[in-house]
Amino acid sequence: MAHDKLIPAHREPPWLPLPFPLQLTRAGLSGFPSPAQDYEGRTLDLNERLVKRSASTFFMTVTGDSMEALGIQEGDLLVVDSSIDPRPGHILVATVEGELVVKRYELLGNRPYLTSGNPRYRPIPAADLECQAWGVVRAVIHEYPV
C-alpha cells in the first residue's frame, strides 16, 4: 500500500438522496412486500452512515491479499477514522518501517502484534519495529463485478 493516496472525507459532504428500502433488506423469508411499501420518504446518506467524524476520516484503496480471509480484498475502499484509539481486535491502517499496511491489532502473550487474515503472512511484532497506527477501519466498501 505504499503508493496509495489518502483521500480525505469532505468536511461538508455533498448530499445525495438515495432511496433507503428498509423493507427489502430483512434477513429471512416473510413474503415479498410491495416495492412501494414503506419506501417513500426514506433516504440513505452514506456520509452520515459511514463517516462519523469528517475531520479525522479518510479513505484508502487496498492492494494485496493479506486480509482476504477477513473480508478485505484488493481494490476495496476502506473508511478509516484516525480519532479512534486502536484496541485489540480492531482492523487498522498503520505504518510499519515506513510502509502503510492494513492489519488486525492483537495482543499475543501481552505483546502487540499486527496480524493478517492470510497465513502466508507472519504476525508483525509491533513493539520490535517502528510502527504507528494511523486509524481504525470503520467500514469496507467492496464492489462486485457487473
Taking alpha carbons only, the member of 86, 85, 83, 116 closest to residue 101 is 116
Q: Indicate if 52 belongs to the active site.
A: no
* Residue 145: count of CB within 10 angstroms of its CB: 4
Task: Please identify which of the residues 30, 54, 66, 116 carries the catalytic annotation.
Answer: 66
Residue 7 CA to residue 76 CA, distance in Å, equals 14
Q: Indicate if 103 belongs to the active site.
A: yes
Task: Please identify which of the residues 54, 82, 103, 116 carries the catalytic annotation.
Answer: 103
Residue 87 CA to residue 84 CA, distance in Å, equals 9
> How is residue 46 annotated by DSSP?
H
For residues 49, 52, 57, 62, the Cα torsion angle rounded to the nearest 10 degrees is: -40
E-assigned strands of 45-110? Answer: 57-61, 77-81, 91-96, 99-108
Catalytic residues: 66, 103
